[in-house]
């Protein structure tokens, strides 16, 4: 009996012209995006390298910002610790306030709202996400600032035994609390949109199985939809956190810039790195400009770290789901 050599069949994928153009366009866009990020980081490092060399790690740990005198008698001293803490505090307040509302709105739009309400509300939500931050800042300065000051005063009177609700002086306007509320309003649309998109992809067969076992709609949402959308919700929250960390104009209009680490969220003092750059840029000396570039590089790296952390959390939740 003769033995015959059986050749393994090779599967060849032949892509059309449109598919090849699309793949190359996407690859080119990805490479250009990475190259642009690398160029931005390189520019900031080049402009701020002298400040990193002069101050070292104290540039991050010190809270003093002094451009010094023009004649050089008083040396310059730069540190962004207070602004970094302010960025984190306002971002945490924004996420804490926005996330529960984002979950409720997303679930309502996807599983409770009738179609004639869902479509216009979804369109409005997407439209609100495109409003420029300066509009939010003007609204926050003229309306939210005075309105939220009353809420802050109430929080201080009820919970002044908690150290971060205490205030050194009874002034409740232009505080990290108000800035956090404004940022929460700004990041709510994008967080809600991501959460709604993820919840809409929940496995329908599992939802129907929960109904078949006698479960209620809320029971199906709690046991199927919310566990399924956990990773997407984290991703949406991290996207909102990245925007909150880098917000400039809105925070500048509703928060007093004070170079002192402030963890008392109701006190009228604070700031963030982006508002520091916006405030000092127009009147900065050449050496202070280098300090602002160095601050921008730190904010750039922090934002990248937040996005990388979000990716790790989403991947881990996806693998354990």
pLDDT in tens, 265-309: 888 888 888 888 888 888 888 888 999 999 999 989 988 888 787
- Scan for tokens 């009353």, then name that residue: 150
* Cβ–Cβ under 8 Å, residues 186 and 134: no
- Scan for tokens 């104009």, then name that residue: 249
pLDDT band at 235 (very low <50, low <70, confident <90, very high): confident
d(CA 51, CA 289): 10
Q: What is the pLDDT of residue 42?
A: 93
> What whole-number percentage of the chain has pLDDT above 70?
92
Q: If DSSP codes are grouped into helix, strand and coil, which group holds residue 257?
A: strand
- Scan for tokens 């790296």, then name that residue: 301
Beta-carbon contacts of residue 253 (< 8 Å; ≥ 6 apart) = 137, 138, 140, 141
Q: What is the pTM of this model?
A: 0.84
pLDDT at residue 320 above 60?
Answer: no
Give the residue among 93, 52, 64 at the shortest CA–CA distance from 247. Answer: 93
Angle, vertex CA 289, rays to CA 283 and CA 292, nearest 5: 105
d(CA 83, CA 159): 26
- Scan for tokens 């199927």, then name that residue: 224
Give the residue among 238, 229, 204, 215 at the shortest CA–CA distance from 106. Answer: 229
More confident of the two residues 7 and 112: 112
Encode pLDDT of 115-149 as tens digits. Answer: 888 888 888 888 887 888 888 888 988 999 889 98
d(CA 219, CA 321): 19
The overall average pLDDT reported for the chain is 84
pLDDT band at 314 (very low <50, low <70, confident <90, very high): low
Q: Where are the beta strands (DSSP E) in the chain?
A: none
pLDDT at residue 318 above 80?
Answer: no
Encode pLDDT of 203-212 as tens digits. Answer: 888 888 888 8
Helix (H) or strand (E) holding 150: helix 145-159
Q: If DSSP codes are grouped into helix, strand and coil, which group holds residue 270?
A: strand
Torsion of CA 315, 243, 107, 317, to 10 degrees: 10
Q: What is the pLDDT of residue 317?
A: 58
**Mean pLDDT to the nearest integer, 28-33:** 91
Give, to the nearest 10 degrees, the angle between helix 176-199 and helix 81-107.
40
Q: What is the pLDDT of residue 31?
A: 93
First to last CA, the chain: 53
Q: If DSSP codes are grouped into helix, strand and coil, which group holds residue 6?
A: coil
């Amino acid at each position: 009996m003769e033995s015959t050599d059986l050749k393994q069949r090779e599967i060849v994928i032949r892509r059309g012209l449109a598919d090849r153009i699309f793949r190359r366009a996407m690859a080119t866009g990805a490479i250009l995006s990475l190259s642009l990020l690398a160029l931005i980081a390189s520019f900031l490092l080049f402009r701020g390298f002298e400040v990193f060399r002069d101050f070292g790690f104290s540039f991050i740990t010190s809270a003093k910002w002094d451009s010094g005198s023009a004649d050089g008698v008083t040396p310059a001293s730069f540190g962004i610790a207070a602004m970094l803490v302010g960025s984190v505090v306002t971002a945490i307040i924004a996420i804490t306030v926005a996330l529960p509302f984002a979950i409720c709105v997303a679930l309502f739009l996807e599983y409770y709202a009738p179609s004639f309400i869902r479509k216009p509300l979804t369109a409005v939500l997407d439209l609100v996400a495109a409003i420029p931050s300066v509009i939010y800042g003007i609204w926050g300065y003229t309306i939210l600032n005075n309105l939220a000051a009353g809420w802050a005063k109430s929080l201080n009177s009820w919970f002044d035994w908690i150290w971060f609700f205490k205030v050194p002086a009874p002034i409740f306007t232009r505080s990290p609390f108000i800035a956090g509320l404004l940022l929460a309003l700004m990041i709510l649309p994008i967080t809600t949109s991501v959460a709604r998109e993820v919840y809409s992809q929940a496995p329908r067969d599992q939802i129907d199985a929960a109904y078949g076992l006698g479960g209620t709609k809320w029971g199906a949402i709690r046991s199927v939809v919310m566990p399924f959308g956990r990773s997407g919700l984290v991703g949406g929250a991290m996207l909102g956190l990245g925007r909150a960390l880098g917000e400039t104009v809105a925070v500048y209009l509703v928060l007093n810039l004070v170079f002192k680490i402030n963890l008392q969220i109701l006190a009228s003092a604070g700031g963030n790195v982006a508002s520091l750059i916006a405030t000092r840029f127009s009147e900065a000396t050449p050496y202070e400009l280098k300090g602002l570039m160095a601050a921008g590089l730190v904010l750039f790296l922090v934002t990248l770290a937040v996005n990388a952390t979000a990716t790790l959390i989403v991947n881990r939740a996806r693998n354990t789901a």
